[in-house]
Amino acid sequence: MYSRENQATRSAAASLLPKRACGALFGGTLAISTLLLAACGSSGDQRGNEMLPVDENAQPTMVTIDGVQDGRPLDPDSLAGRAPSERVIYFDYDRSELKPEFLGIVTEHGRFLAQNSDARVRLEGHTDERGTREYNIALGERRARTIQRMLQLQGVSSAQIRTVSYGEELPAVDGHTPDAWEKNRRVNIIYETTPPS
């Protein structure tokens, strides 16, 4: 029926199949675990626990760290007042993977959304002008969904997130240069006042 060579090839392929499936599963799990570990780690430029002189007559005050009052939840209005670059995630050309330098921004928004279940965001995916309209709409959607998945990994409900892709239709910067293209490959995180319909 089958030659010995065919049987040997089939046996070898069959024995590799579980290993490949296990490797793919392990690789995906490892990638997610690495991202979560990086999100929980320190940036290295934070100061350690320093002992500072204390004024015995000082009145208690609320401490502000990085624009957020310590011990109080961040609200969407305070995010709206921050620099726009803290709500923009940039991507490499023709890619939809989150760049490591933007993990902290996504983590900050994820924490806020997970702690404030009434808050809602719209993730707007954008591309540069290169590529067909259809391709760019799909790429913008993949970029928005990447951020959506990262937020959901932090406990954000899917009901809190809406994604939309504008492709190349709403550039942040007009122009036909590499600098303009780089600024147009992005996802904007927009806080909405009402839940998505």
SS3 155: coil
Whole-number Cα distances in Å, 72 to 62, 63, 75: 10, 10, 9
Cα–Cα distance, 184 to 177 (Å, whole number): 11
Whole-number pLDDT of residue 156: 94
Instruction: Scan for tokens 């015995």, then name that residue.
Output: 56
Per-domain residue ranges for the chain? 7-37, 75-192
Cα–Cα distance, 98 to 148 (Å, whole number): 11
DSSP states along 101-146? GGHHHHHHHHHHHHH-TT-EEEEEEE--S-S-HHHHHHHHHHHHHH
DSSP states along 36-81? HHHHHS--S-S---------TTPPP---EETTEETTS---HHHHHT
Whole-number pLDDT of residue 9: 43
Question: What predicted TM-score, i.e. pTM, was given to this entire model?
Answer: 0.58
Sequential pLDDT tens for the chain (197 residues): 444 444 444 444 444 444 444 444 444 444 444 444 444 444 444 444 444 454 556 554 443 333 344 444 445 555 443 323 479 999 999 999 999 999 999 999 998 888 888 889 999 999 999 999 999 999 999 999 999 999 999 999 999 999 999 999 999 999 999 999 999 999 999 998 644 44
SS3 161: strand
The 8-class DSSP code of residue 99 comes to P
Tell me which H or E stretch contains 89: strand 88-90
Whole-number pLDDT of residue 66: 39
The separation between CA 169 and the C-alpha centre of its own chain, rounded to angstroms, equals: 22
Q: Domain spanning 75-192 has what CATH number?
A: 3.30.1330.60
